[in-house]
Chain A
């Protein structure tokens, strides 16, 4: 398959996308993980049992070989964030993906982190 990074999920890439309801197998939300739009997900393993997974799950895992936010995966898969959260939640529950929660608004960010952000912006 394509390069891990080069995957853009453009139109026609996976054929006509399955209707969101079908893609999530009728479930509307995942009870296990609370994903945010900027939770970051990453594939745990490079090799997966392709037979055990749906094509769109394999596609997600390919996209996630490099760490991505939930919003990015949704954009690349061309489905709403609410739908991708269910699909990702399932892959997390099955141990294929690891998620990391974003910084929380209520805890003030430390000076070290703000300095790192400033340095990162200035390096652009």
Chain B
């Protein structure tokens, strides 16, 4: 992007602009996604609306032609400055939308994902696991232990979710920054083992 006739302002801007990475936080409705994003983010979580396309499920389709539907999706996200050249964004997938797992745009370009499992309703995280498995996006499962909920151990969660052996399962408290850091660290280590190229 360097220009021939040097513009000091432009040069300085180029020096000050980091590149961004994205990690998704997925899981069922009310699993604690926004809470986890907020716990580790350096800014209070922000919300933004993005248009997502999904392949039609055949509803209202009289023409027989495959249709794409666009939906406005509210995403919340947080930010972690890694260094002067890198910034990490954490995006929570919308919990109340039943078909979020059809939106490829959400996953496009993401480094990896955290699937938050809600111990009161483990099954609500199945679609998220399927989503990342199918797209071969590295993910870890974080088990958010709500008070009074049945406490599964990692092996039970693995079994109940039919997780492949390589997928890390981490116990967490989505409200705690220390816990959130452990979850993200487990994910980044898992990404390093599964996908990274040398240098």
Interface residues of A (CB under 8 A from B): 36-45, 67, 69, 71-72, 74-76, 80-82, 98, 100-105, 108-122, 124
Chain A nearest CB from B79 CB (Å) reads 7
4 pairs of A and B residues whose beta carbons are closest in the complex = A120-B82, A75-B46, A38-B20, A80-B49
Take A72-B79, A80-B48 as given contacts and tell me if A117 and B20 are in contact as well, using a CB distance cutoff of 8 Å.
no
Of the residues B20, B40, B197, contact of A111 by C-beta under 8 Å: B197
Given contacts A108-B196, A124-B40, A69 and B87 within 8 Å (CB-CB): yes
| A-facing residues in B28-67 (Cβ within 8 Å) | 40, 42, 46-51
1/0 per residue, CB under 8 A from A, across B89-115: the answer is 100000000000000000111110000
Query: B81 an interface residue at 8 Å Cβ cutoff?
Result: yes
Are B21's CB and A67's CB within 8 A?
A: no
- B83 CB → nearest A CB, Å: 6
Contacts of A105 in B (CB 8 A): 107-110
Residues in B with CB closer than 8 Å to A75 are 46-48, 77
Residues of B in contact, count (CB < 8 Å): 51
Known contacts A102-B19, A114-B196, A81 near B50 by CB under 8 Å: yes
In the complex the two chains form, is A36's CB within 8 Å of B10's CB? no
B19 pairs with A121, CB closer than 8 A: no
Is the pair A82, B86 in contact by a Cβ cutoff of 8 Å? no
Q: Is the CB of B192 within 8 A of A111?
A: yes
> For B80, what are the chain A residues with a Cβ–Cβ distance below 8 Å?
120-121, 124
> Contact check: which of B89, B110, B188, B199 meets A71 at CB < 8 Å?
B89
Considering the complex, give the chain A residue whose CB is closest to the CB of B193: A114
A45 to B9, CA, bound (A): 6
B10 touching A37, Cβ below 8 Å: no
- Residues on the B chain within 8 Å of A100, using CB: 17-20
Contact status A42-B13, CB under 8 Å: yes
Q: Which of B117-125, B152-160, B165-173, B177-185 contacts A (4 or more CB under 8 A)?
A: B177-185
